[in-house]
């Protein structure tokens, strides 16, 4: 009886540890999240409380752990980091059949920067290995009304510089079924100012306006409130800069498409 009494707490501890370990292991961040510089973690070794350690991943991706010294965990999943520490403890003869559990306490290493014309520009942590681009934009409050539909994503993929332009509107309207764009740790998301055109002359509201998708000259004229009583849509001039920087002057048709930085001039009617 006495012998069973002493075994009972040990059995309870084993059951609790296994339950907690299974719950943690089933979490998505356990599988997908990659540890990075600045992350704060707690490391527990079953039945070895003296080895319990709270530490922060250094800029080089390393941590210092009792008995085994420096361990590089940067860029590894939590599960892989647990196995690496366990193997080092076992191969060094410090712990027999070590069971290591890592708890992510604070995320600072895996972040993306969202910049430009968004409501809340800044750096935001990734809770998983990668995140949908639209989710990252949503965290930053989305684009401002004068923000472009085209988002530029830069970063590193497979050790090489990565840059991609994504038209958010078209990805929803025209490209259903195509591979979604993901962002990863260290990426930068930049939302540029939306392209504009300029309209002046005999028009109700001369100003600069956002270039909408597939906008025509007549739609641009409507944006400006239409011609004044002295103006006419039959006599307009369009000024557009070509690739060499030279400004071309044309007489546009009402159905011609407007481009970024176009200048539309509504002349006075001769009659």
Q: What is the DSSP string of 130-191?
A: EEEHHHHHHHTT-B-TTEEEEEEEEEEETTEEEEEEEEHHHHHHT-TTSPPPEEETT-EEEE
- What lies within 8 Å, CB to CB, of 215 at 6+ separation is 197, 257, 258
Instruction: State whether 170 and 211 are in the same domain.
Output: no
pLDDT at residue number 23:
46
Which CATH number goes with the domain that contains 218? 3.10.560.10
pLDDT at residue number 186:
82
pLDDT at residue number 55:
94
pLDDT, tens digit (0-9, with 9 covering 90-100), for 150-198? 999 998 887 788 999 998 887 777 655 455 688 988 899 999 999 999 9
User: Which structure tokens are listed for 115?
Assistant: 């910049």
Residue 51 gets which letter from DSSP?
G
Name the nearest CA neighbour of 262 among 201, 209, 225. Answer: 209
As a residue count, the chain comes to 271
Over 70: is that where the pLDDT of 2 sits?
Answer: no
Highest mean pLDDT among 54-58, 128-132, 167-171, 184-188: 54-58
- What lies within 8 Å, CB to CB, of 64 at 6+ separation is 55, 70, 71
Domain that holds residue 41: 34-106
Our count of domains for the chain comes to 3
For CA atoms 162, 166, 172, 174, the dihedral sign is negative
For the entire predicted model, the pTM comes to 0.61
Q: Torsions phi, psi of 263, nearest 5?
A: -120, 120
**Boundary-marking domain end, from 88, 106, 124:** 106
pLDDT, tens digit (0-9, with 9 covering 90-100), for 83-98? 999 999 999 999 999 9
**Boundary-marking domain end, from 193, 211, 246:** 193
Name the nearest CA neighbour of 103 among 170, 25, 182. Answer: 25
């Amino acid at each position: 009886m006495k012998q069973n009494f002493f075994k009972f707490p040990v059995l309870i501890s084993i059951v609790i540890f296994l339950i907690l370990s299974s719950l943690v292991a089933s979490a998505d961040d356990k599988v997908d999240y990659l540890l990075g510089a600045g992350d704060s973690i707690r490391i527990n070794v079953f039945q070895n409380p003296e080895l319990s350690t709270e530490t922060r991943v250094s800029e080089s991706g390393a941590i210092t752990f009792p008995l085994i010294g420096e361990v590089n965990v940067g860029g590894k999943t939590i599960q892989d980091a647990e196995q690496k520490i366990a193997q080092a403890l076992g191969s060094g003869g410090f712990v027999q059949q070590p069971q290591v559990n890592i708890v992510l306490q604070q995320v600072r290493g895996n972040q993306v920067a969202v910049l430009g014309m968004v409501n809340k520009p800044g750096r935001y942590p990734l809770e998983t290995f990668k995140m949908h681009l639209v989710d990252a934009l949503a965290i930053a409050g989305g684009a401002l009304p004068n923000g472009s539909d085209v988002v530029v994503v830069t970063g590193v993929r497979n050790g090489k510089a990565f840059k991609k332009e994504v038209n958010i509107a078209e990805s929803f309207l025209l490209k259903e079924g195509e591979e979604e764009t993901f962002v990863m740790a260290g990426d930068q998301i930049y939302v540029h100012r939306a392209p504009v055109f300029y309209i002046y002359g005999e028009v109700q509201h001369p100003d600069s306006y956002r270039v909408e998708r597939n906008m025509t000259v007549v739609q641009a004229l409507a944006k400006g409130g239409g011609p004044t009583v002295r103006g006419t849509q039959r006599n307009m001039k369009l000024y557009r800069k070509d690739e060499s920087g030279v400004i071309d002057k044309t007489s546009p048709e009402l159905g011609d498409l407007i481009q970024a930085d176009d200048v539309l001039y509504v002349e006075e009617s001769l009659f």
